[in-house]
Structure 1
């Protein structure tokens, strides 16, 4: 699966690492409502181009998953700032 790396020059390998780090940082640095979205741009950093077959849960299961994810943030990041900004509302305050 990673055979393509064996044919890259040192400079090409460095460029690949820089590209991957940039993508990982962009994903890591997402915040607020961005955390709820899937990130195909991260998957597109891989050399194999596939169209993932996404299975979407029904609404009740989806909402329960969202709640569990949000609860996990309370456990893992209990001191993270809380914001009141509504999704996709430019007039919504972003204050904590």
Structure 2
């Protein structure tokens, strides 16, 4: 799966690591509606230890955001397979 890394130079590998770290930090530092999932294991891959200060929307706003997100998936990927299981199954 990661065979493409073998062909990259040291500078290219460093650029890739920086890009991935930036994406993880952006997600880690999200809050409110921007924080879709809490992923401390992912954030723990970064070299700096930090306990992100997250804020969550009140339940009604949170649920409206979830519905809008799911509706956007219907528009963007109407052909996506359905995973019809309860959370935690």
TM-score bracket, shorter-length normalisation: 0.5 to 0.7
Gaps of 5+ in 2: 1-9, 25-35
Higher Cα Rg: structure 1 or 2? 1
TM-score between both structures, scaled by the size of structure 1: 0.51
Gaps of 5+ in 1: 1-9, 25-35, 90-96
TM-score between both structures, scaled by the size of structure 2: 0.54
* Count of aligned residue pairs for this structure pair: 62
1:9-64 CA-to-partner distances (Å, cap 9, x unmatched) read x6xx78xx5xx6xxx8xxxxxxxxxxx63212111111111100110110001001
The residue that corresponds to 2:38 in the other structure is 38
Secondary structure class of the residue paired with 1:82? coil
By relative contact order (CA 8 Å, sep 6+), the higher-ranking structure is 2
